[in-house]
Chains A and B, each alone.
Chain A
Amino acid sequence: MLKKLAALVIAPVAALGLAVSLTGLTSATALTGSNSTGSTVGTVPQCAWHLDGVLADVVLSHDDATKYKGLDFGISGSSSSVDSYVAPVASSSKPASPGVDDCSWYTSQASASVTISTDASPGFTSSSFAGDTSMDFSLSDSSHKLTATVSPSCDSPWTAPTGGDNDIYGSHVSGVATSITKLNTTTRSACSYTVGFAATVPAGKSPTHAGSNYAMTGPTLTTTLVTSTS
């Protein structure tokens, strides 16, 4: 029994010793002169910035599920977690535990910044009833806007968003939700954030089809990941 135990301990040690000896032997052979000049160089994949998790449609609803009665009617909703991350070019999803050497930037290290924008004259429109625009309303100024509150969960060196900068209304250019410089970008840089949206259906609307449900569609919000190698 004792012998068996000793063998169990010694066997791996011997195997290790053999491996080390062999390696040393190869090195020694190389040092003593080999005519071989061929070699292979393994490379890791190219890194790239990925944008993921932009919800195709954000649904907004009234807090207590009541219906519009001609008074100001607040609606709100939230996006899912939007991810901006560095991963190998071929990666099709955010790595659960990214490694430092999963990919390399080589000579193409790039900065990243995320913005949320819309077209020049945003508003909510309905196509429920042909030609019925009675419930349409525009997001024309800072009093009639789609409030976009960006809540990132990214530590420095990612920048934090400025409150109100990403609100959506006519002639308001979107601010930067978050960004990271080229120098601070690593092979594992990542930032996730959610966006809370809120708007108010203005008072004084008189629906042509009162008692019916109007499906109101807001402006198309474009989440842009700007990457730059310069």
Chain B
Amino acid sequence: MRSKFLALSLLFFSAISFNSVFSFELGNAATSNLGLVLDILPSNDPEINRLTTGQALWFVIPPGQHQSRQVRISSTSTIPEVVTLSIGYLNRINGIATIDDSKKSETSQWASFTPEKFKLAPRESRIVEFKYQIPAGTDIGIHEAFLFATANSTAPASTAEYSVPQAARIATPIFLGVGTSAQIDTNFSIDNISGVVVDGVRNLKIDLSNIGKTPLNLSGNVQLSSTEFKGRFIGPLVFTSVVIRPGIDSFVLIPAPPELTPGEWKILVTATQISNTKTKEFTKNIDFKAPSTLISNLIRILGVIFFAVILYFSLRILRAPRKKKEPLEEPKERVRRLRRVRKTSRQEFEVAEIDKIIEEILSRSNSNQSTSKGLKTSKKSTTKSPAKKAPAKKAPAKKDPAKKAPAKKKATKKK
């Protein structure tokens, strides 16, 4: 009895434990989510820290040398993950770094990771050595790319009828300057400050130029003091620029406070990129008039007139009657025409000869026999008929006006 009770108890507990294990696995399967964190460990290189904040992934490496940074990959997943590190193509659109997976970064051939691919248990972290080795002879220049950390599931493919596998990826931009820190240096200029109205809002516009070799992300402030009213100060008005690439001019808009009235102001602009701070003082007449449309309208009107005149003359030229040009005859056509002309002139000649012969015969017969009316009429009909048939008819016709000409002369004389 006691042994039966023990056996039953064991069976009961094993059933409970099996159930709990089974339900736990099911629960895991239901929440097989991928997740990760990418942490760039601060750089210890003073040259890098001079150019950018310690955690931005910047490298400045002369050709033939190498440099390393450390990144920490942590799993936020409940399942094991396979993490792969790689370099991706960075396409900067309006200052914003965007991924283009269809292209390969030119820097990927110089990059290596230790380790490149590894397995992370749930909630585990791993530090990876990211190294750039620049071959000797590489051109001095700047490059941008993405560092990718991609997490995939280690579980076998789904057996569901239709499924879509997913991967989780974190991307962060890399700046790589090939050259010495003197060759890849930060430099910029504060060019101008003015008042502008954008979408009906009054703004101070600061013009900036990146004249260095590194991308800029400037932060700074503007302080104003009125030259007309003593003791009237405004600011500091803080600003942050978008990323300004080397060789590019950009601007920052700062909303103008209501107390900033039109007039002459002494303005101090301060802009900073890490340890590189520049200031510039302006004494300017600030107003917030919307840009005059007079000049643009004038240019537009002049353009309209200019193009209208061109159009008028073009149309005039187009409408003018064309000089009739006889189309150039094809050589073959010309030969055919000449042959035709020769043939007709030969026919004319033959007809004229026949006429002569007939006339001769008739004259002979007239001299031998007495002339009869019937014969005369037959003579007329024979002379006319060939003229009608052949185009040679024109030849005798030409003679007619010659005959008429004296008649005309007589008429003029009569007058």
Contacts and interface: CB of A to CB of B under 8 A. Distances in A.
Given A56-B166, A222-B168, 20 more contacts: A50-B35, A50-B37, A50-B76, A51-B36, A55-B33, A56-B34, A57-B32, A59-B160, A89-B74, A90-B125, A91-B76, A108-B40, A110-B172, A119-B101, A173-B102, A215-B159, A216-B162, A227-B38, A230-B173, A230-B243
B114 interface: no
Interface stretch (B49-57, B293-301, B354-362): B49-57
A30 B99 CA distance: 56
Interface stretch (B150-158, B226-234, B393-401): B150-158
Interface string A207-223: 00000011111111111
Interface string B83-120: 00000000000000111111000000000000000000
B171 interface: yes
Given A59-B162, A214-B161, A51 B99 contact: no
Q: Which of B102, B123, B170 has the most CB of A within 10 A?
A: B170
Interface stretch (A2-10, A18-26, A75-83, A186-194): A75-83
Contact of A80 (B33, B79, B123): B33
B168 A51 contact: yes
Interface of B: 31-40, 52-56, 72, 74-77, 79, 97-102, 123, 125, 146, 148, 150-153, 155, 157-173, 215, 217, 240, 243
A202 interface: no
Nearest to B158: A57
A224 B88 CA distance: 12
B87 to A, nearest CB: 14
10 contacts: A57-B158, A83-B35, A108-B53, A215-B158, A217-B164, A218-B165, A222-B150, A223-B168, A226-B170, A228-B173
B243 A222 contact: no
Q: Which of A79, A89, A215, A229 has the most CB of B within 10 A?
A: A229
A197 B40 CA distance: 34
A216 B35 contact: no
Given A50-B37, A228-B97, A56 B161 contact: no
A54 B168 contact: yes
A99 to B, nearest CB: 19
Lowest 3 A-B CB distances belong to which pairs?
A52-B35, A56-B153, A218-B164
Contacts of B74: 89-90, 92
A229 B55 contact: yes
Given A222-B150, A225-B169, A229-B55, A58 B39 contact: no
B interface, over-half SS:
strand
Nearest to B36: A51
B163 to A, nearest CB: 5
Nearest to A109: B53
B165 A223 contact: no
B34 A54 contact: yes
Given A51-B170, A57-B158, A93-B76, A226 B164 contact: no
A66 to B, nearest CB: 12
Contact of B166 (A79, A91, A108, A228): A79
B199 to A, nearest CB: 18
A177 interface: no
A61 interface: yes
B39 A224 contact: no
Interface in A171-185: 173, 182-183
A83 B34 CA distance: 11
B97 A51 contact: no
Nearest to A229: B56
B364 to A, nearest CB: 101
B35 A220 contact: no
Nearest to A179: B96
Contacts of B146: 226
A228 B172 CA distance: 6
A161 B173 CA distance: 23
Given A50-B37, A173-B100, A215-B159, A58 B240 contact: no
A107 interface: yes
A61 B161 contact: yes
A169 interface: no
Contact of A57 (B39, B52, B72, B153): B153
B163 A217 contact: yes
Contacts of B79: 56
Contacts of B168: 51, 54, 222-223, 225
A25 B92 CA distance: 59
